[in-house]
Chains A and B, each alone.
Chain A
Amino acid sequence: MPDSATLEAVNIDQDEGNFSYPEEYAHDAGYGLNEDTIDFISNVKGEADWIREFRKKALKIFESKPMPTHWASEDLENIKFDDIRYYLAKGQRPTRSWDEVPDDVKQTFERLGIPEKERKYLAGVEAQFDSEAAYSNVKEELEKQGVIFVNSTEGLREYPDVFRKWFGKVIPTGDNKFSALNSAVFSGGSFIYVPPGVKVAHPLQAYFRINAENFGQFERTLIVVDEGAEVTYMEGCTAPKFETATLHSAVVELVAMKDAKIQYITVQNWSNNVFNLVTKRGMAHENAEIRWIDCNIGSRLTMKYPGVIMKGRKARGEVISIALANDGQHQDTGAKMIHAADETTSNIVAKSISVGEGRSTYRGQVHIPKNLKGCKNNTECDALLINSNSRTDTYPAITVRGNQHATQHEASVSQVSEDQIFYMQQRGLSEGEAMSLSVNGFVNDLVREFPMEYSVELKRLIDMEMEGSVG
Chain B
Amino acid sequence: MPTEELMAQETVAPWMAAPPVYDNESNLPDWYQKFREESWKRFVNTADPKRTDENWRFADLKKSKFSELLPAAQVEDEAALIDRSEKSRLTDCAAHYVFANNRLIDSDANGLPEGAICLPFGEAIEKHGDLVREHFMKEDRSLGGDKFAALHGSAALSGLFVYFPKGVVCEKPIQVHHYVGGNQQVIFPHTLVVAEDNAQVSVIDMFETIAEEEQTLVIGVVDLVAKNGANLQYVALQDESDHGARHVQINSTRAGRDARTKSAFINLGASWIRNESINRMLEEGADCQIFSANLANGVQEYDQRTLQTHEAQHTTSDLLFKNALYDEARTIFSGLIQVQPGAHHTDSFQTCRNMLGSDKAEANAMPGLEIDADQVKCSHGSTSGQISDEEIFYLQARGIPAEQARQMISLGFLNESISRLGGEELKEFLFRRVEKKFANLL
Contact = CB atoms under 8 A, between A and B. Distances in A.
Given A387-B374, A394-B368, A400 B380 contact: no
Nearest to B360: A370
A409 B369 contact: no
A12 to B, nearest CB: 31
B367 A409 contact: yes
A73 to B, nearest CB: 13
Interface of A: 70-71, 370-371, 373, 383, 385, 387-415
A383 B368 CA distance: 13
Given A370-B362, A394-B369, A411-B379, 5 more contacts: A396-B367, A397-B57, A401-B363, A406-B385, A409-B380
B368 A409 contact: no
B362 A413 contact: no
B4 interface: no
B386 A404 contact: yes
A405 to B, nearest CB: 7
A401 B380 contact: no
Contact of B366 (A370, A396, A401, A414): A396
A398 B377 contact: no
Contact of B361 (A71, A389, A390, A401): A401
Nearest to B378: A413
Nearest to B355: A403
Contacts of A397: 57-58, 364-366
Interface of B: 52-54, 57-58, 341, 344, 354, 356-386
A70 B372 CA distance: 21
Nearest to B368: A395
A114 B207 CA distance: 70
Chain A contact residues: over half helix, strand or loop, or mixed?
strand
B369 A393 contact: yes
Contact of A407 (B357, B370, B372, B383): B383
A389 B341 CA distance: 7
Contact of A411 (B358, B375, B376, B380): B380
Contacts of A409: 365, 367, 380-383
A411 B367 contact: yes
A401 B369 contact: no
11 contacts: A370-B360, A371-B359, A385-B371, A388-B373, A390-B374, A392-B369, A393-B368, A395-B368, A403-B358, A406-B385, A413-B378
User: Which residue among B354, B361, B363, B377 has the maximum number of chain A CB atoms within 10 Å of its CB?
Assistant: B363
Contact of B376 (A371, A387, A402, A413): A413
Nearest to A365: B366
A400 B356 contact: yes
B369 A391 contact: no
Contacts of A371: 359
A398 B382 contact: yes
A162 to B, nearest CB: 38
Contacts, number: 128
Contact of B369 (A389, A400, A408, A411): A411
B361 A403 contact: yes
B376 A385 contact: yes
User: Which residue among A389, A393, A401, A407 has the maximum number of chain B CB atoms within 10 Å of its CB?
Assistant: A401
Contacts of B365: 396-399, 409
Contacts of A71: 54
User: Which residue among A389, A395, A403, A415 has the maximum number of chain B CB atoms within 10 Å of its CB?
Assistant: A403
Given A396-B367, A396-B368, A412 B379 contact: yes
A408 B359 contact: no
A413 B364 contact: no
B373 to A, nearest CB: 7
Contact of A401 (B54, B362, B373, B376): B362
A388 B344 contact: yes
Contacts of B383: 406-409
Given A401-B362, A404-B359, A410 B380 contact: yes
A407 B344 contact: no
A373 B381 CA distance: 23
A399 B384 CA distance: 9
Nearest to B372: A391
Contacts of A414: 376-377
B384 A400 contact: yes
Given A70-B53, A411-B369, A385 B374 contact: yes
A399 B378 CA distance: 23
Contact of B370 (A70, A387, A393, A415): A393
Nearest to B333: A398
Contacts of B373: 388
A431 to B, nearest CB: 16
A70 B363 CA distance: 24
Task: List the 6 closest pairs (A to B, CB-CB), nearest first.
Answer: A388-B374, A400-B384, A402-B359, A403-B356, A394-B369, A403-B386
B371 A391 contact: yes
Contacts of A399: 58, 362-365
Contact of A398 (B341, B364, B371, B376): B364
A410 B379 contact: yes
Contacts of A395: 366, 368
Contacts of B363: 398-401
Contacts of A410: 379-381
Contacts of B367: 394, 396, 409, 411
B434 to A, nearest CB: 19
B360 A394 contact: no
Given A397-B365, A398-B365, A398-B366, A413 B371 contact: yes
Contacts of A396: 365-368, 382
A401 B360 contact: yes
A408 B358 contact: no
B359 A370 contact: yes
A383 B376 CA distance: 11
User: Which residue among B356, B363, B371, B375 has the maximum number of chain A CB atoms within 10 Å of its CB?
Assistant: B371
A371 B361 CA distance: 10
Contacts of A370: 359-360, 362
Nearest to B364: A399
Contacts of A400: 354, 356, 362-364, 384
A70 B55 CA distance: 10
B45 to A, nearest CB: 19
A415 B374 contact: yes
A392 B338 CA distance: 10
Contacts of A405: 356, 384-386
Contacts of B361: 401-403
Contacts of A408: 381-383, 385
A208 B358 CA distance: 49
B356 A402 contact: yes
A70 B385 CA distance: 31
A175 to B, nearest CB: 16
Contacts of A412: 378-379
Contact of A70 (B54, B356, B368, B377): B54
A134 B354 CA distance: 53
